[in-house]
A and B are shown apart, each in its own frame.
Chain A
Amino acid sequence: MFSRTILRNSIIKSQTQVITPFPRAYLFSIRFNSTLPPSNQNNSKIQKKDELPIKEGEEEEEAQAWLDAVKELRERYISQGIPDYESAHMKQLKSEVFEPSEEQLAKYASLQDKPIPLRNDPVVQHCTNMVMKDGKKSKAQKYIARALYIVRLKLRQDPVNVLKETLDKLGPLMETKTYKTRVAKNLVVPVPLNQRQRYRRAFLWILEGSDKRRSKDFSVRLGEEIIDAYLGRSSGYDKRAQIHKQAMLHRAYVKLR
């Protein structure tokens, strides 16, 4: 049905201005060429096109001569009993392959025990990700790098170590979580924190402290706050003590299995 309607539409479109002498029913009974089986003549032509015509010329003769020569050589080598007559070619291929020297092998062996050095320190990277806003990591890296440079200038120590030490000192060991019992009062349970969680809370306090500083440059504020936190002057220590106190109060609810 579908093909019929298309057909009809196409005929009507083509003959809009010409008044057809045929009645409507006759139009539908017309058979077009496309539906007819292909003729044998056309088919043979296509087949001929696909096949490459064999030319008889000088080039052909030369190629045949080459092939004959190769065949002859191969037969001669086999008859003479020469082993690996194609190895010369293979050697050439082999010479291009990289072969490490003894020195390099020794170095490789010595480096096997050592781990591949990390590009960035994971703790610094964690802090960078916390500083980052809107996915602008390079900006966050710049802030952290500058803050750590200020730490280096002031304390004359490795700032990454200083940061790690500070986060370790400042990070709370426990935290309280509230569980809904649905029966009576809620349960407040102290939960231990892993290293990453501890560092996260400590660095958040450092960021909070840095907001209260005077400079309009974030890296200066952060650098100064890290120095103060390292020297034990941050307000984060009070928060840490308070959290610990709360955890101690609710120590009865700690589940020990």
Chain B
Amino acid sequence: MLRLSVVFRSSKLFSTSALQLAASRPVKATAKGFKGNVSGKKNRKTAGSFRFFEDHIHYTKNREEGTQLSNLEFFGNELHSNKVVGFTEKQVQKLVQLGAFKKDQFNELFKVPITLLRNETEIIHKFITSTQSTPSSENRICLLGERGIGKTTLLTQAQALALNNGNTIIIPISYALKLVDGTNDYFYDSKLGTYTQPMYLKKLLAKIEYVNKESLQKLSLSQDYTIDGISKDKASVKFTPKHSLLDLVKANVAGRQRGKVFQILINELLKQNKSSVLLTVDNFSALTSNPITAYRNIENKLIYTEEFQISKFIFQLTSGEISFNQGGVLLATSSDDKPSITLKHGLGLIEADPYLKESEFSRQLASKLVGVKPIEVSKLSKENVSILIEKYIEAQAFNNFELEANSKEHLVNQKYVLSGNGNPLELLKSITLYH
């Protein structure tokens, strides 16, 4: 039997044509999905925060449990240098919307964010007062300095001063890298002749609306405007001189038309005389370091910075091509961006090599920065460090063993050296992240 079966099997192997010709049974498709864990172990991670360190300390409600400093004066119009002051609740609300407080500033130690009034604060104060009366082409400043020296903090102080005035409209670009890094949606607006970024504009217009509510309400439109709907079925939005600028900013407009709304807003602000306009750009060096953006056109070629509506508007203001009747431009560089010759040549700090490539040095952008006044932010003095340390001791930011082993004078000397002779960020790190 065994033999027969073997023969039978072997004889069957010779005729394979039937097998080949036979239609295969259709295999039922099953969704396998992404196999993340190959080993088969179930690794459930449920407890705790999902955030990274910077986000964790910034977003969790740490500030509510922060220390309330005693005898803390608030940031007003009296600005004596070498003094630590806190922002009022109203200021904080608006400054948060402006994106003034960054994640690495260790503000969560205090109930109210604090700031040190320095020598540069006086310069900023003078600048803000001059924006009230003189055109923006005469008030153009760029803050320079090493990492953590306090450029963004000074920008915040300028914004707080402008908010105190009550008659200043702030246009905040809190992180200019967002304009060029390719993270936003964009399209070519043929009517404007520029590329627009609808989602970025939506956020920007929301910020402008929230911060400048009172000032925008006072200003009315100078002429009629009609903004088309998304499709033929949707009604267009009409604006008349009865409407204020706040109505324009608040209007629920399709993303495709948002560029036009922003353009109308800028045109109206350029015409008016009632209030001053302050443009603040943080991380401005992102624009000069990346003259060619990460965005591509329909021919798959990279787009130049100035072809974007917002970037073009910024450079028009920095060059003085357009100017608000009263206002100013305040730029702050960032050390996160690669150092660019474009910025330094534009500000007149160095002379660029005439044989440099376009990728290394953008002549076009550099020419738009002529006339902008560079301000080099200096390091903190020992007195400044001493006053800051007092506040941080009060906020219990120091370790007990450090306080027990050293006198205050000792601590000041130690921290002054550890901070690289007065770099504020390094000072804070040496206090908070030293164990």
Contacts from A to B (Cβ < 8 Å): 117-118, 120-121, 124, 142, 144-146, 148-150, 152-154, 156, 158-161, 212-217, 219-221, 224-225
Given contacts A117-B405, A158-B396, A214-B49, 19 further A-B contacts (CB under 8 A): A117-B401, A121-B401, A124-B435, A144-B435, A145-B435, A153-B57, A153-B60, A156-B65, A158-B400, A159-B399, A212-B44, A213-B45, A213-B48, A215-B56, A216-B52, A217-B51, A220-B49, A220-B53, A224-B48
With A145-B433, A160-B399 given, is the CB distance from A150 to B56 under 8 Å? yes
With A158-B400, A213-B45, A221-B48 given, is the CB distance from A117 to B57 under 8 Å? no
Q: Which residues of B contact A219 (CB under 8 A)?
A: 53
Determine the residue in chain A with the shortest Cβ distance to B397: A152
Chain A's interface: helix, strand, loop or mixed, by majority?
helix
In the complex, what distance in Å separates the CA atom of A104 from the CA atom of B191? 79
User: Which among A121, A150, A213, A214 is the interface contact of B435 at CB below 8 angstroms?
Assistant: A121
In the complex, what distance in Å separates the CA atom of A219 from the CA atom of B52? 9
User: Which among B60, B65, B400, B405 is the interface contact of A161 at CB below 8 angstroms?
Assistant: B400
Total A-B Cβ pairs within 8 A: 82
Q: Is B406 an interface residue (CB 8 A)?
A: yes
Determine the residue in chain A with the shortest Cβ distance to B44: A212
Task: Please state if B52 and A217 are interface contacts (CB–CB under 8 Å).
Answer: yes
With A156-B396, A220-B52 given, is the CB distance from A214 to B434 under 8 Å? no
Q: Which residues of A contact B50 (CB under 8 A)?
A: 214-216
In the complex, what distance in Å separates the CA atom of A224 from the CA atom of B51? 12
Contacts from B to A (Cβ < 8 Å): 44-53, 56-57, 60, 62, 65, 67, 108-109, 396-397, 399-401, 405-406, 432-435
Task: Please state if B48 and A160 are interface contacts (CB–CB under 8 Å).
Answer: no
In the complex, what distance in Å separates the CA atom of A216 from the CA atom of B49? 9
- Shortest A123–chain B CB gap in Å is 10
Return 20 A-B CB contacts under 8 Å, by A number: A142-B433, A144-B435, A145-B435, A146-B53, A150-B53, A152-B432, A153-B65, A153-B108, A160-B400, A160-B401, A212-B45, A212-B47, A213-B48, A214-B48, A215-B49, A215-B50, A216-B50, A216-B52, A217-B56, A225-B48
Task: Please state if A158 and B399 are interface contacts (CB–CB under 8 Å).
Answer: yes
- Shortest B200–chain A CB gap in Å is 27
Determine the residue in chain A with the shortest Cβ distance to B46: A214
Q: Which residues of A contact B396 (CB under 8 A)?
A: 152, 156, 158
- Shortest B6–chain A CB gap in Å is 58
Q: Which residues of A contact B108 (CB under 8 A)?
A: 153
In the complex, what distance in Å separates the CA atom of A93 from the CA atom of B220? 85
Determine the residue in chain B with the shortest Cβ distance to A157: B396
Q: Which residues of B contact A124 (CB under 8 A)?
A: 435
With A117-B405, A216-B52, A224-B48 given, is the CB distance from A159 to B62 under 8 Å? no
